[in-house]
C-alpha cells in the first residue's frame, strides 16, 4: 500500500515537471514540430546529425524536440568587433604600405611638393589615406599641381633608360590614392617631344580573376616631359580595377618603348562590406567527438535563416555553427581561410557572438568548459569555441542532459572600389 502511494506521488511529480517544461518550450502549443535538421532555402548548410537516443522516460523524439528548442532559446552574448591587425587603415597589406612610405619619403627629401599638405607627406603610419569614408570610397579630385622641381642632373646614355621611379628601380607601387599619386620617372634619352606612359598588366604574375587593363598615366603639365625626367599621375577617379602586377612602359615620340618591369598597382578602396555567406570549402571545422564517436549534431549554416531550431539573434550573421550531443565533448577550433577572395579583397574585421543555453525547467546556469577566442591568421582567422553542459532532472522519472556549443560570426571585407569580393558574386 505504501509502495503504491509512493509510485502515484512519483508519477504526479513527473507529470508536473513535464508540463512545466512543455510550457517553457512552447507556451502556446506545447512541443515544436521535429524538423530533423532541415533548413529553409537560401542557406548553405553542412549538416551532420544522428538520431539522439532516448534518455530517462523521454523518447528519442521528445528528447530531440527539447534539444532543438533549448538551442533556439539560447541567449546571444555579443562580442567585440575586432579589426584585422595585418592591414592598414584602408585594407592594404603593410608590406605594400612600407614601399609607398619609402617612395613618399624620397619625394619629400628631394623635392618641395607645394601642392600636397606637408603634414600628409610626413605621415608614415598611414600612407594610402585618401579614401573618403563618407561617400562611395572615391578620393576627391586633387588640385592642379605645378611642375615639380627638377632633382636630377643630366646624364648621357647610349639608349633610352629608366633609372628610377620615386627613388626605386624595382618594385614600384602605383596608386591613384592621394597624396601618393605623384610619380617622377628619372633616366635619360626620353627626348624633348612628349610621348606617353602606361601601366601594362604583368601577364607573368597576374592572379586569376583580377579586373585588369592597361592604364594611362597623365602628364602633370605640358612641361612635365624632358629628356631625363617625366612627372605623371593616375586618374584619381579610377575604379572597377583590381590590384594587379604591372609593367610601366614609357612610349617615346619616335615609337620606341622603355619598360620598367615588376611593379604593382594598388586600387582605391571602397567601404567595408558585410559578407553574406562563407563557402563551406573555405572552412575547416574541428572534427568533434563524444567518447569515441562523432557528435550527434554538427551544423554549418551560411547564411543562417529563420527557423524554429536556431536563435533568432543569429539571423543576419555570415555564419552559424551548432554542435550538440547528449555526452560531453572537448572544446576545439575552427579555421577560416579567405585566400580565394578576388584579388585585393581581404577580411577587414570580425565579430564573434556566442550563445549561452538555458536548461529547461532549471534556473541553474549551464556549466562551461573551454575558452572562446577569435585569432587572426595571415589568410583569415580561427575561432576557438567552448562547450556548455546543462542538466534538468527529477530522478528516476525524468532526466535531460545537453552538451552544446553555438556561435555566429559577422565578417566584413574590404577591397578595390567597383569590384566584387567573390568571383561569382555573394
Digit-coded pLDDT (tens) for 170-189 = 999 999 988 899 999 999 99
> What are the φ and ψ backbone dihedral angles of 14, each rounded to 5 degrees?
-60, -45
pLDDT for 208: 66
Select the highest-mean-pLDDT range: 96-100, 108-112, 206-210, 378-382. Answer: 378-382
On the question of pLDDT at 213 being above 70, the answer is: yes
Contact 58, 306 (CB under 8 A): no
Closest to 175 measured CA to CA, from 83, 113, 104: 104
DSSP SS3 for 96: helix
What average pLDDT score do residues 191-209 get?
A: 86
On the question of pLDDT at 30 being above 70, the answer is: no
**Share above pLDDT 90 across residues of the chain, in percent, rounded to a whole number:** 53
pLDDT for 118: 41
271 vs 30, more confident: 271
- The residues pairing with 388 across neighbouring beta strands, listed in sequence order, are 368, 404
The model's pTM is 0.74
On the question of pLDDT at 17 being above 80, the answer is: no
Q: Which helix (H) or strand (E) holds 230?
A: strand 229-234
**Share above pLDDT 70 across residues of the chain, in percent, rounded to a whole number:** 71
On the question of pLDDT at 274 being above 80, the answer is: yes
Contact 107, 390 (CB under 8 A): no
pLDDT for 383: 98
Where does 318-397 show beta strands of DSSP type E? 319-325, 332-337, 346-356, 367-369, 373-377, 380-385, 387-394
Q: pLDDT tens, 40-85?
A: 434 666 655 555 555 556 778 888 888 899 999 999 999 999 999 8
On the question of pLDDT at 407 being above 60, the answer is: yes
DSSP SS3 for 412: strand
362 vs 241, more confident: 241
pLDDT band at 257; cut points 50, 70, 90:
very high
**CA gap 131, 135 in Å, rounded:** 9
On the question of pLDDT at 20 being above 60, the answer is: no
pLDDT band at 399; cut points 50, 70, 90:
confident
On the question of pLDDT at 128 being above 90, the answer is: no
Q: pLDDT tens, 103-126?
A: 999 988 876 544 444 443 444 333
Pick the CATH number of 94-265 from 2.40.50.140, 2.40.37.10, 2.30.110.10, 2.60.40.10: 2.60.40.10
The structural domains of the chain, with segments of one domain joined by +, span 2-84+273-414, 94-265
Q: pLDDT tens, 316-353?
A: 999 999 999 999 999 999 999 999 998 889 999 999 99
- DSSP classification of residue 55: B
pLDDT for 155: 63
Amino acid at each position: 500500500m505504501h509502495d503504491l502511494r509512493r509510485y502515484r506521488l512519483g508519477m504526479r511529480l513527473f507529470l508536473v515537471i513535464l508540463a512545466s517544461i512543455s510550457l517553457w518550450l512552447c507556451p502556446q502549443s506545447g512541443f515544436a514540430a521535429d524538423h530533423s535538421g532541415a533548413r529553409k532555402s537560401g542557406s548553405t548548410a553542412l549538416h551532420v546529425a544522428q538520431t539522439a537516443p532516448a534518455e530517462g522516460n523521454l523518447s528519442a523524439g521528445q528528447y530531440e524536440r527539447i534539444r532543438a528548442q533549448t538551442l533556439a532559446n539560447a541567449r546571444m552574448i555579443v562580442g567585440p568587433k575586432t579589426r584585422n591587425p595585418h592591414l592598414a587603415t584602408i585594407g592594404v597589406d603593410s608590406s605594400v604600405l612600407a614601399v609607398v612610405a619609402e617612395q613618399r619619403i624620397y619625394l619629400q627629401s628631394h623635392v618641395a611638393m607645394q601642392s600636397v599638405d606637408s603634414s600628409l607627406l610626413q605621415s608614415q603610419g598611414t600612407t594610402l589615406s585618401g579614401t573618403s569614408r563618407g561617400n562611395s570610397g572615391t578620393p576627391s579630385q586633387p588640385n592642379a599641381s605645378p611642375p615639380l622641381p627638377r632633382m636630377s642632373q643630366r646624364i648621357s646614355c647610349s639608349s633610352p633608360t629608366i633609372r628610377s621611379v620615386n627613388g626605386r628601380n624595382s618594385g614600384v607601387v602605383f596608386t591613384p590614392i592621394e597624396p601618393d599619386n605623384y610619380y617622377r620617372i628619372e633616366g635619360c634619352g626620353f627626348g624633348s617631344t612628349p610621348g606617353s606612359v602606361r601601366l601594362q598588366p604583368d601577364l607573368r604574375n597576374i592572379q586569376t580573376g583580377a579586373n585588369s587593363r592597361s592604364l594611362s598615366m597623365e602628364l602633370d603639365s605640358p612641361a612635365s616631359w624632358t629628356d631625363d625626367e617625366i612627372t605623371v599621375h593616375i586618374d584619381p577617379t579610377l575604379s572597377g580595377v583590381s590590384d594587379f602586377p604591372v609593367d610601366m612602359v614609357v612610349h617615346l615620340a619616335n615609337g620606341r618603348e622603355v619598360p620598367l618591369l615588376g611593379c604593382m598597382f594598388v586600387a582605391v578602396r571602397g567601404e567595408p562590406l558585410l559578407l553574406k555567406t562563407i563557402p563551406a570549402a573555405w572552412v575547416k571545422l574541428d572534427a568533434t567527438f563524444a567518447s569515441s564517436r562523432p557528435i550527434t549534431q554538427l551544423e554549418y549554416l551560411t547564411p543562417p535563416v529563420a527557423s524554429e531550431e536556431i536563435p533568432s539573434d543569429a539571423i543576419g550573421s555570415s555564419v552559424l555553427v551548432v554542435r550538440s550531443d547528449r555526452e560531453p565533448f572537448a572544446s576545439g577550433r575552427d579555421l577560416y581561410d579567405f585566400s580565394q577572395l578576388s584579388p585585393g579583397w581581404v577580411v577587414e574585421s570580425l565579430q564573434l557572438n556566442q550563445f549561452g543555453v538555458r536548461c529547461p525547467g532549471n534556473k541553474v546556469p549551464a556549466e562551461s568548459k573551454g575558452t572562446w577566442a577569435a585569432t587572426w591568421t595571415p589568410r583569415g582567422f580561427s575561432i576557438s569555441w567552448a562547450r556548455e553542459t546543462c542538466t534538468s532532472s527529477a530522478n528516476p522519472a525524468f532526466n535531460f542532459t545537453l552538451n552544446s556549443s553555438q556561435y555566429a560570426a559577422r565578417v566584413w571585407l574590404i577591397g578595390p572600389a567597383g569590384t566584387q569580393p567573390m568571383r561569382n558574386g555573394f
